[in-house]
Chains A and B, each alone.
Chain A
Amino acid sequence: MKAISEGAVESSRGPARSARGGETAEARFRALAIGELDRAYRLAGLLLGDANEAEDATQEALLRAWSALSSLRDPAGFQGWFDRILVNVCRDRMRRRGRIRFIDLEGSPEPRATGDPFGAFIERDAILGAMKGMRDECRQVVVLHYWADLPLNEIGARLGLALGTVKSRLHEGREHMRASAARSADGKRG
């Protein structure tokens, strides 16, 4: 396994050129990243619940990944490596925005009209709407497990968590969604 930029002569004047047949690190990074772009943007959108923030976060993660490219040992692991950077960016943005907004599901049974595709996707579903009030840590695990279809050990590897922690966060998130769905069903019956 070689780091993508291994052997590269890095220069602030231009792209790094690797020892692999003249292919630039920039070109290889671009090829890897393009394949993940839609998925990354959607993952960020589900984590942040906002298309604009998702776009910013994905761009930020791309730039971080580009700068940290030498830490990627195996190009085949790009998705997992980039996931971790992206999730950390999203986590950081949640902290940085310093404010928390919740939708009172019990008080507003009718989903709110919203122009944001991710907000609408989340809010219009009785189960997914529970993510609005879910702890960020649980939300990350829930999205990676149920949306990205990752097994728990893989989630642990991507988030730097022990398997037990992943399980407990998934359990908490799942129960949160179950309770929300039950409340929603009760509301409709009532």
Chain B
Amino acid sequence: MDDFDRDIRNAFHARQLPGAPARLLQTLDALPARQARPSFGGFRLVLGLAATLAVLLVAVVALSGGSRTPPPAGSPVPSVPAVVGPSVEPSASVAPSVEPSVAPTETPVPTPTPRPTAPTPTPTPATNAGPAGLIDPEHLWAVGDGRLLVTADGGQTWRDVNPPAPAEPGQVAHLLGVQFIDAEHGWVAFAEPFKLATDPGFGRVDVWRTTNGGKTWAKSELPPARINNAGDTLGPLVFDFLDSSHGFAFISGNFAHGLNDSDLYWTADGGRTWSADRPTGTGGAGIEGPAIAFATAKDGVAVGRPVGSGVSVTHDGGMTWKAAILAAPAGMSGAVRFFGQPVFFDSHVGLVAVQFEGDASSVTRIYRTTDAGSTWTFLSQVPGTDTLYVSIVDQQAWIATDGSGVVHTTNGGAGWTHVTTQAPSGGLQAGLLAAQFIDLDHGWAGWMEPQGNAHVLVTSDGGVTWHVLTP
């Protein structure tokens, strides 16, 4: 140990850090009931919590053929054409009630908010890259310094398309989530700024929507959430749109309030109006995210529930939920589960990647459902033990990234191919913050260079080479 080692150690031990707050002791005093032993498979299903890719619900589902199923004909929720062109929208009176049977807690009046079409020829370079999404090989969105940027030429030029979200002086608005289902239709959620719990903006979430790639935006507000929103701990929020009209917004549980509190909203008019917060439950009975995926307007899953199989399933659009069946590998029934983003290919069939962290090893497996999420069966195990992110490209092609490279399969896991990565600036190793492929060639990754700056990387050759984008 040299002098600098001693300096580091002394710095860490120079002052006493605070002890655990009383709430943590209270947690131990009120532990939730553990899962009863199920009768299937011999495994006691255990907890899970969603891991990666959850805030990055980009276009994988949309690009998989758009075969997910919006409400059937005759649904009491008719589709409303998406906004096109003008940013000033008709009044809420033309928007049908989203759910006649559920009294909305607030009458959403879309706020016309014109935003001048002002492509920025030279966007401000961002040092703080945030989440991003690859819509197609040419169109990406990315968050830099808290602002939303888009490119239509593979990252050569960027436009700042940030909605005119309110912000406190000197601060950017708190962006909670983004989804683009194609180059034109996108949604962005912001937390309204506030300073005190008595401020009007406290706990409010605004959803901005565009139908023209960010040229113009219009705003709606989510009805009041049941969770105890608290500033920076609000969210994250994920969108899951089935098409340009029908979709969900899901706010993950806020552990500052309690286990499994989360909020789910539904829109049938592209986000003009939103349903009341759906009863996702609270406490030990609640569902948890942060990832959700819906096969239809009725059938969907939330992955990451800290008890049971880790997967909750609904077949009535989120009004009621129950635990899905997903068995752990032999000998890992007690492992902690981390989930990737589930992907549905039609109204019944879907895939999800699950990482099991045992006390001595870690494995990542792909599971398949054919009953819209109620039961999940093992398909394949991803090679290696340090898998970080898995992209489900289609039913046969999956790509996984780890700290040293990429592995992919094109035959449903029957065989895997390792791709040696030639990453910029000394390697991709362990600097990965996120990664997602939309096909076997094109993907993006969030990457932190050794100096600490975060960047968006893209690849167009299946992960062999990566190029830094600096939106």
Asked if A and B are interacting partners, one says: yes
Q: Which A residues contact B (CB, under 8 angstroms)? A: 3, 10-16, 25-26, 29-30, 33-34, 37-38, 40-42, 45-46, 51-53, 55-56, 58-60, 62-64, 66-73, 77, 81, 84-85, 88-89, 92, 94-102, 117-118, 121, 125, 127-128, 132-138, 142-143, 146-147, 149, 160-161, 165, 169, 172, 174, 176-178, 181
Chain B, range 51-85, C-beta contacts under 8 Å to A: 51-52, 54-56
Task: Tally inter-chain residue pairs, CB-CB below 8 A.
Answer: 224
Within 8 A of A (CB), among B343-367: 357-362
Q: Does B433 contact A (CB under 8 A)?
A: yes
Q: Is the CB of B33 within 8 A of A133?
A: no
Max chain A C-beta neighbours (<10 A), residue from B51, B52, B403, B430: B430
B: which residues have CB within 8 A of A? Answer: 4-5, 7-9, 11-15, 17-21, 23-25, 27-29, 31-37, 44, 46-47, 49-52, 54-56, 127-131, 143, 146, 175, 230, 232-233, 236, 252, 255-256, 259, 290, 306-307, 332-336, 338, 357-362, 385-386, 403, 430-431, 433-434, 448, 450-454
Which of A16, A71, A98, A127 is within 8 Å of B130, CB to CB?
A98
User: Contact at B233–A52, with CB atoms within 8 Å?
Assistant: yes
Known: A38-B20, A102-B453, A169-B430. 5 other contacts (CB 8 A): A41-B20, A66-B31, A67-B34, A146-B8, A176-B452
User: Are A52 and B256 interface neighbours, CB within 8 A?
Assistant: yes
Q: Given the known A-B contacts A30-B31, A60-B49, A121-B15, are A69 and B334 also in contact in the complex, defined by CB atoms under 8 Å?
A: yes
CB-CB under 8 A for A37 and B24, given A96-B236, A98-B236, A101-B128: yes
Smallest CB-CB A-B distances: 3 pairs: A71-B334, A133-B452, A67-B47
Is B452 in contact with A134, judged by CB distance below 8 angstroms? yes
Known A-B contacts A29-B31, A60-B306; the reply to A98 vs B131 at CB < 8 A is: yes
- Is the Cβ of A88 less than 8 Å from the Cβ of B450? no
The reply to whether B8 and A42 form a contact with Cβ atoms under 8 Å apart is no
| A100 and B448 in contact, given A84-B359, A169-B430 (Cβ under 8 angstroms) | yes
- State how many angstroms separate the Cβ of A150 from the closest Cβ of chain B: 12
Listed by A's residue number, 5 A-B pairs whose Cβ atoms lie within 8 Å are: A64-B336, A68-B335, A98-B236, A133-B453, A160-B357
Q: A40 touching B20 by the CB < 8 A rule?
A: yes
Contact indicator A10/B36 (Cβ below 8 Å): yes
Q: Is the CB of A33 within 8 A of B28?
A: yes
- Asked whether, in the complex, the Cβ of A95 is within 8 Å of the Cβ of B433, the reply is yes
For the complex formed, measure the closest distance between the CB of A172 and the CB atoms of chain B, giving whole angstroms: 6
Nearest-CB residue, chain B, relative to A128: B11
**Contact between chains at B54 and A160 (CB < 8 Å):** no
Query: Per a CB cutoff under 8 Å, which of B47, B334, B358 touches A63?
Result: B47
Query: How distant is the Cα of A164 from the Cα of B334 in the complex, in angstroms?
Result: 28
**Could you tell me the distance in whole angstroms from the C-beta of A147 to the nearest C-beta in chain B?**
4
Residue from the set A96, A102, A147 with the largest chain B CB neighbour count within 10 Å? A96
Say yes or no: B131 contacts A55, CB within 8 Å. Answer: no
With a cutoff of 8 Å between Cβ atoms, the chain A residues found around residue B448 in the complex are 100, 135-136
Question: Which residues of B have CB within 8 Å of A42?
Answer: 17-19
CA distance A138 to B334 in the complex (A): 27
Which residues of chain A have C-beta atoms less than 8 A from B386's C-beta? 160-161
Verify B361–A160 contact, CB threshold 8 A: yes
Please, how many angstroms separate the alpha-carbon atoms of A37 and B33 in the complex?
Answer: 21
Residues of A within 8 A of B12 (CB): 46, 128, 143, 146-147
Q: Which residues of A contact B146 (CB under 8 A)?
A: 99
Q: Are B24's CB and A12's CB within 8 A? A: no
Chain B residues within 8 Å of A125, by CB: 11, 14
